[in-house]
Amino acid sequence: MVTGVGLNAPATCAAIRCALDNFQETRFMDSGGEWIMGCEVPLEQPWRGKTKLIKMAAAAINECLANNKQIVPKNTPLFLCLSEHERKGRVIDDDNQFFLDLQTELGVEFHEQSRVIARGHVAVAVALKHARELLLLQEFKVKQVLIAATDSLLVAPTLSHYEGNERLLTSQNSNGFIPGEAGAALLVEAVHAKSKHQLICHGLGFGVEKAHVDSEEPLRADGLTAAIKESLGDAGCEMGDLDFRITDISGEQYYFKEASLALLRLLRKRKEEFDIWHPADCIGEVGAVMGLVLIAVLKIACEKDYSKGHHILGHLGNDDGKRSSMIFAWQTVGN
């Protein structure tokens, strides 16, 4: 991972565990004349726009490649997760060219089944779904899939749009998020017997919320509830079997309310505690990268034994109403 609180995954997860942030004044000003707070990634040069997105993605992918010498890029598909095409201020005008430029930056070529998934927050869940399907196919003989993401909300038109819709945390609005940027990468493979612990994704689910954050309809969390139900069915468990939640919530009351409503509709068992983690408190709103951040935080929390349990619900949501849910389990050796 490459975030505003760490230039690799261990550093970022350590900062998140300690509840450290790097929120500072940006070069952007709000309508009240105050500097907008943000969480910027401090790279060695002041790159901006597409160049910085490529640099962040490349750094995260290189971290993956360096930590696993068994990865052969030409035999490994890369699923690149990016922001939605509809997002205001999106700096990538050609996804395919961006992918080619990233390969050039890395100096490698990935498998022909590589693809770009421009789905915002839910992109990582979509990538996991495609990865599962591809790993099950014998035709391409794929053993591993690399999922990467890069995104930044520290762009003037993007900030202006969110401020205009009262979504941004500013001197004039307390019910908003702090914008950030990040890059992350994750290697996934089919579940098989291993001599070491592993984080397994047992269930995936998707839904659409009609009463999304920009609508005027009353919120019942139908979309998130449907996504979680599907993922629970896929994993063969119930909400009460899970130990805690981790989400992309970044400070807005709407998404906290949605998570609470979905929990009320699905939890049938009394639990003393059902904690909810939201790493955006430390790194800001990082768009399409958030899903990978959640998974990395989970993996390291389980490895270092400070998680709230070994069965976890993760859920993600886009502003347009798309919702995704993931059920994870930490499998220890011998279990």
pLDDT (average), residues 125-140: 92
Task: Please check whether residues 173 and 266 belong to one and the same domain.
Answer: no
Is there a domain that residue 129 lies in? yes
CATH number, residue 278: 3.40.47.10
What's the farthest any 2 CA atoms get from each other in the chain?
59
Tell me, yes or no, whether 308 and 228 share the same domain: yes
> 114 by DSSP, 3-state: which?
coil
pLDDT in tens, 300-328: 999 999 999 999 999 999 999 999 999 99
pLDDT digits (tens, 9 = 90+) for 19-60: 999 999 999 999 999 999 999 999 999 999 999 999 999 999
Amino acid 256: pLDDT:
96
pLDDT of residue 133: 94
Residues 175 and 206 in one domain: no
Residue where a domain terminates, one of 171, 189, 207: 189
For residue 271, what pLDDT band results from cuts at 50, 70 and 90? confident
| Cα atoms in the Cβ-side hemisphere of radius 13 Å centred on 38 | 24
Is 278 a domain residue? yes
**By mean pLDDT, which of 10-19, 137-146, 148-157, 197-206 is the weakest?**
137-146
> Confidence band (pLDDT; 50, 70, 90) for 270?
confident
Domain identity same for 145 and 95: yes
Any domain includes 170: yes
* Residue 87 and residue 184 in one domain: yes
pLDDT at res. 291: 98
What Rg, from alpha-carbon coordinates, does the chain have?
Answer: 19
Whether the per-residue pLDDT at 10 is higher than 80: the answer is yes
The predicted pLDDT at position 195 comes to: 61
72, 165: one domain: yes
Residue 2 maps to a domain: no
In a domain, 300, yes or no: yes
pLDDT score, position 335:
54
What confidence tens digit (pLDDT) does each residue in 167-207 have?
A: 999 999 999 999 999 999 999 999 875 667 899 999 999 99
CA nearest to 288, candidates 127, 84, 18, 47: 84
**Pairing mode of beta strands 181-189, 198-208:** unpaired
Same domain assignment for residues 281 and 235: yes
d(CA 130, CA 164): 36
DSSP 123-151: HHHHHHHHHHHHHH-SSS---EEEEEEEE
Query: For the residues 244-269, what does the mean pLDDT come to?
Result: 95
Looking at the fold, whether 149 and 236 belong to one and the same domain comes out as no
The pLDDT of residue 194: 67
54: phi then psi, degrees, rounded to nearest 5: -65, -45
**Does residue 184 lie in a domain region?**
yes
pLDDT range class, residue 265, cuts 50, 70, 90:
very high
Domain boundary at 170, 189, 208, which?
189
Residue 128 domain boundaries: 9-189
**75-115 pLDDT, tens digit each:** 999 999 999 999 999 999 999 999 999 999 999 999 999 99
**Domain identity same for 159 and 100:** yes
Does residue 1 sit within a domain?
A: no
The answer, yes or no, to whether residue 137 has pLDDT greater than 90, is: no
Q: Residue 272's pLDDT is what?
A: 87
pTM above threshold 0.85: yes
Q: How many domains does the structure of the chain reveal?
A: 2
The model's confidence at residue 334, banded by pLDDT at 50, 70 and 90, is low
pLDDT, averaged across the chain:
95
The answer to whether residues 68 and 111 belong to one domain is yes
Residue 231 in any domain: the answer is yes
Query: What percentage of the chain exceeds 70 in pLDDT?
Result: 99
Select from 160, 189, 218 the last residue of a domain.
189
Q: Are residues 180 and 205 in the same domain?
A: no
Q: Do 225 and 326 fall within a single domain? A: yes
